[in-house]
Amino acid sequence: MSSALSSSGADGVGDTTLFIGTAASYASDGPTLPIIGSAGEHSDWVAPNPEDRPTEKDPLPRPAKKQRTQDHLSKVSTNPEASSKRPKVEVEGLHQPWTLLPVEVLQQVEKRVAGERGEKVEVVVWTKNQNVKSGINRLKSLLGFEEAPEAGEQSGREITTRRNDKLIAVSAYGEGTTKLVGIVEMTKRVVGGATKEASGETWFTYTVLSSTSERDVKNKVPVLTVWLSPTRIPELKVTFGEQTFKVKRTTGAD
């Protein structure tokens, strides 16, 4: 919007017209807030998203070290090679118990058991889950002990019929050694008692404590073998000591 002012001299000459420009007015419905700073300072700023803030409900990440430990344990437990080597490989010697004997007596005992095949030895291997009653019955059978049935004049007579002159080697490893000792002692009482006053046939026992692995200390498993023999074995007596027990004979037997 502009306005014009006119002026002239007295003689009417030299009229000039002065145009004065005025700023256009801007109307607004309300007060105008001043803008602080330039527009460039606020062009890149973005308000944070409230959803991006961590909350108490968000689960915390698990430590990496603990995760690695769990992964390692799972690999060990699922490794078929590790599980197959522990019990099976270590107890192979229980089926040839003379191989666990010290070198100084090994050769002499091998002669008695007829070499590596063990043709003159009855090998019995028990575990911690061995049934006590069946274990006692097994030894009674190997010792040639039987209880005679009632036959009118006398009942409960015991008879002994030696079926062979084989040695008996009863072995167990680890927690099964406790079960072995209990079964052997109860069998002694059943077949005639462990006292010297009992009548019957004398058997000799030798208790040998060894391990399944002499080279690898970490993988050693304690092995207990009780040798039962109808004859004395001097080599075992010198090294491990000797005990005796009786097996009752039939009434009137020689």
For 201-228, what is each residue's pLDDT tens digit? 899 999 999 876 555 456 677 899 999 9
Write down the pLDDT at residue 129: 92
Write down the pLDDT at residue 242: 95
Residues of the chain short of pLDDT 50, as ranges, are: 73, 76-77, 82-84, 86-89, 148-163, 194, 216, 250-254
* CA atoms of 164 and 168, how far apart (whole Å): 11
pTM (2 decimals)? 0.57
Walk me through the domains of the chain, giving residue ranges and CATH numbers. Answer: 93-247 (3.30.110.20)
* CA atoms of 166 and 148, how far apart (whole Å): 24
214-244 core/surface letters (b: 16 or more CB in 10 A; e: else): eeeeeeebebbbbbbbbeebebbeeebebee
